[in-house]
Structure 1
Amino acid sequence: MKHFFRNEKNKPTDTTEILFNAAEKIPHHIAIIMDGNGRWAQKKFLPRIAGHKEGMNTVKKITKRASQIGVKVLTLYAFSTENWKRPDTEVSFLMQLPVDFFDTFVPDLIKENVKVQVIGFTDQLPLHTKKAVEQAIEDTKNNTGMILNFALNYGSRSEMLEATKQIAEQVKAGELAVEDINEVVFEQQLMTTTLGEYQDVDYMIRTSGEERISNFLLWQNAYSEFYFTKVLWPDFDEAALEQAIGVYQTRHRRFGGI
Structure 2
Amino acid sequence: PSYSPVETLIVSDVHLGSEVSRAADLLAVLKAHRFKRLILLGDIFADLNFKRLKREHWDLLSYVRKLSNPKRQVEVVWVEGNHDRGLSDVMSHLVGVHVLEEYEWTFEGQKYLAVHGHQFDRFMVDNQMLSELGANVFLWIQKCDFREQRLSRYLDRLNTSWLRMTPRVAAGALAMAAARNASFVFCGHTHVAMYREAHGIQYFNTGCWTQSPASYVTISSEGVRLHEHE
Report TM bin, short chain. 0.3 to 0.5
Is the radius of gyration larger for structure 1 or structure 2? 1
TM-score by length of 2: 0.35
More strand by share: 2
TM score, norm. by length of structure 1? 0.32
